[in-house]
């Protein structure tokens, strides 16, 4: 007979962090009586970051004892595996899993799902998940967390009935930019047989990828296949592109363009950016800051800039919050604002790196419809990186990285064939 497996569905209102803290310190055990006096451990992205920080700061190995690689340089899948293995060796009575499948590709997700289902035979698992599809099939007890209030469902049927999917749409059109960015070439990115190795191990093998103005690409590949490595060559954050046949916006890599020139042509958003600043800026200033390539605004905005920001806020149905602080927004709202910030100039290339990770179904569906809209109504090319096949996302092409012993190879699959 298996143990209790608990699922708690979270949404943008949930005070999940607080809840988890109380649960692990024994303060929530009035609801979960079976956990009273038991020892629980946490499996979450924040724990990986905490161990990453400890390993780096003190130059020690905790999760990475059996490898020479640093936790930081591992792919998300490798990091999660290392954390889970470590937690199991600590023999906890129960595990709290916060969005365990985020940032994982289909196969790694399936493997982790199987491992967790097997683990549920001997340990109590408490899942806090924002996406319905992430709930383990072995779940016995269902709850939802509204702000800090836990609501119990009498049966799994009652739970699934009350969470049928909804879809949401935006009203109005994407606001036009103040000026257009000059382009020397319609070809924005050209990888011509580009390969990348780390410490003698080839990670990317002869990549050929040509991205033209206005195209909508989804970049897909298993954990560790080299998606981040590819993107960092485009954004100028990796030197691996030098000396190879890589052209960006019509210029060969290394032919004198500055990282600044590159950043002018690229709008970039990844959820980790949100953690980089404290969020004491108004929404209006956050969006305008996209015109100045800063996070937050440090100069007085002009009236034209303010008008443009208002148009974006209107589109996002956030006008009433224009003077609110960015940090007061829900996670989903923050991502919409960050995307508006990345798009305000209509950069020739918009890169969205796993932008829906950690969102609940409603938040993800809203985000996806904004991206589809940007693709339809602007000439910006889009690269959308995601492990999940996002329901409702309509890219024109998939660039699929397939892992081989000699490094990942890239395949182009038109969306119509997927």
Ligand X SMILES: Nc1ncnc2c1ncn2[C@@H]1O[C@H](COP(=O)(O)OP(=O)(O)OP(=O)(O)O)[C@@H](O)[C@H]1O
Size of the site for ligand X (CB under 6 A): 16
Q: Does 224 bind ligand X (CB under 6 A)?
A: yes
CA dihedral angle for residue 390, residue 392, residue 398, residue 400, rounded to 10 degrees: 20
The nearest distance, CB 78 to ligand X, in angstroms, is: 6
The nearest distance, CB 230 to ligand X, in angstroms, is: 7
Which of 197-205, 268-276, 286-294, 323-331 is the region at the interface with ligand X (rule: CB under 6 A)? 197-205
Q: Does 112 bind ligand X (CB under 6 A)?
A: no
The order of strands in the sheet holding 141-146 is 40-43, 94-98, 124-129, 5-10, 141-146, 149-152
Q: Which residue is nearest to ligand X (CB)?
A: 75
The nearest distance, CB 209 to ligand X, in angstroms, is: 14
Select 316 or 357, whichever has its Cβ closest to ligand X: 357
Long-range own/partner contacts, residues 196-200 (CB < 8 A, 24 or more apart): 196/226, 196/229, 196/233, 196/240, 196/407, 197/407, 198/73
The nearest distance, CB 200 to ligand X, in angstroms, is: 10
The nearest distance, CB 278 to ligand X, in angstroms, is: 26
**DSSP letters of 162-219?**
TT--------S-PPPPSSPPP-S-SEEEEEEEEEEEETTEEEEEEEEEEEETT-EEEE
Distances (CA, A) of 369 to 15, 17, 148, 390: 26, 28, 29, 11
Give the residue, chosen from 139, 190, 218, 228, that forms a contact with ligand X under the rule CB under 6 A.
228
Give the residue, chosen from 21, 168, 186, 198, that forms a contact with ligand X under the rule CB under 6 A.
198
Take residue 179 and report the two structure tokens written for it. 């000026």
Find the binding residues for ligand X in span 69-88 (CB under 6 A): 73-77
The nearest distance, CB 73 to ligand X, in angstroms, is: 4
Give the residue, chosen from 227, 281, 341, 346, that forms a contact with ligand X under the rule CB under 6 A.
227
Give the residue, chosen from 100, 130, 175, 226, that forms a contact with ligand X under the rule CB under 6 A.
226
Select 139 or 228, whichever has its Cβ closest to ligand X: 228
CB 207 within 8 A of CB 410: yes
Which of 150-158, 227-235, 324-332, 391-399 is the region at the interface with ligand X (rule: CB under 6 A)? 227-235
CB 382 within 8 A of CB 203: no
Q: Does 398 bind ligand X (CB under 6 A)?
A: no
Give the residue, chosen from 203, 274, 340, 400, that forms a contact with ligand X under the rule CB under 6 A.
203
The nearest distance, CB 404 to ligand X, in angstroms, is: 13
CB 41 within 8 A of CB 95: yes
Name the percent of the chain in helix, strand, coil, to the closest 5. Answer: 35, 20, 40
Give Cβ neighbours of residue 282 (< 8 Å, ≥ 6 apart): 322, 323, 324, 325, 326
Which of 59-67, 168-176, 225-233, 322-330 is the region at the interface with ligand X (rule: CB under 6 A)? 225-233
Select 61 or 310, whichever has its Cβ closest to ligand X: 61
Q: Which residues make up the interface to ligand X (CB under 6 A)? A: 73-77, 198-199, 203, 221, 223-229
């Amino acid at each position: 007979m298996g143990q209790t497996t608990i699922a708690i569905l979270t949404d943008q209102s949930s005070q999940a962090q607080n809840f988890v803290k109380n649960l692990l310190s024994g303060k929530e055990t009035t609801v979960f009586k079976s956990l009273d006096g038991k020892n629980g451990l946490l499996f979450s992205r924040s724990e990986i970051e905490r161990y990453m920080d400890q390993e780096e700061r003190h130059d020690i190995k905790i999760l990475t004892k059996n490898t020479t690689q640093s936790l930081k340089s591992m792919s998300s899948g490798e990091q999660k595996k290392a954390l889970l293995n470590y937690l199991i060796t600590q023999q906890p009575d129960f595990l709290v899993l916060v969005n365990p499948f985020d940032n994982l590709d289909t196969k790694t997700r399936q493997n982790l799902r199987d491992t967790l289902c097997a683990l549920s035979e001997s340990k109590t698992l408490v899942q806090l998940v924002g996406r319905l599809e992430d709930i383990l099939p072995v779940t016995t007890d269902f709850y939802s967390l509204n702000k800090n209030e836990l609501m119990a469902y009498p049966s799994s049927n009652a739970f699934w009935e009350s969470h049928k999917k909804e879809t949401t749409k935006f009203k109005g059109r994407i606001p036009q930019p103040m000026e257009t960015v000059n382009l020397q070439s319609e070809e924005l990115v050209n990888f011509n047989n580009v390969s990348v190795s780390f410490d003698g191990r080839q990670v990317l093998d002869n990549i050929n990828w040509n991205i033209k103005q206005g195209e909508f690409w989804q970049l897909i590949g298993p954990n560790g296949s080299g998606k981040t490595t590819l993107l960092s060559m485009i954004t100028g954050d990796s030197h691996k592109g030098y000396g190879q046949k890589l052209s960006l916006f019509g210029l060969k890599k290394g032919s004198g363009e500055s990282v600044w020139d590159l950043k002018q042509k690229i709008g970039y958003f990844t959820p980790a950016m949100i953690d980089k600043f404290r969020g004491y800026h108004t929404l209006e200033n956050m969006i305008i800051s996209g015109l100045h390539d800063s996070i937050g605004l440090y100069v007085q905005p002009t009236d034209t800039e303010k008008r443009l920001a208002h148009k974006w806020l209107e589109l996002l149905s956030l006008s009433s919050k224009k003077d609110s602080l960015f940090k007061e927004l829900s996670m989903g709202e923050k991502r919409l604002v960050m995307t508006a910030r990345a798009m305000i100039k209509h950069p020739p290339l918009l890169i969205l790196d796993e932008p829906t990770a950690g969102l609940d179904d409603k938040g993800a569906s809203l985000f996806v419809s904004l991206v589809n809209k940007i693709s339809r109504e602007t000439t910006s090319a889009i690269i959308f990186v995601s492990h999940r096949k996002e329901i409702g996302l309509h890219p024109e092409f998939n660039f699929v990285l397939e892992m081989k012993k000699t490094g990942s190879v890239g395949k182009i699959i038109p969306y119509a064939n997927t």
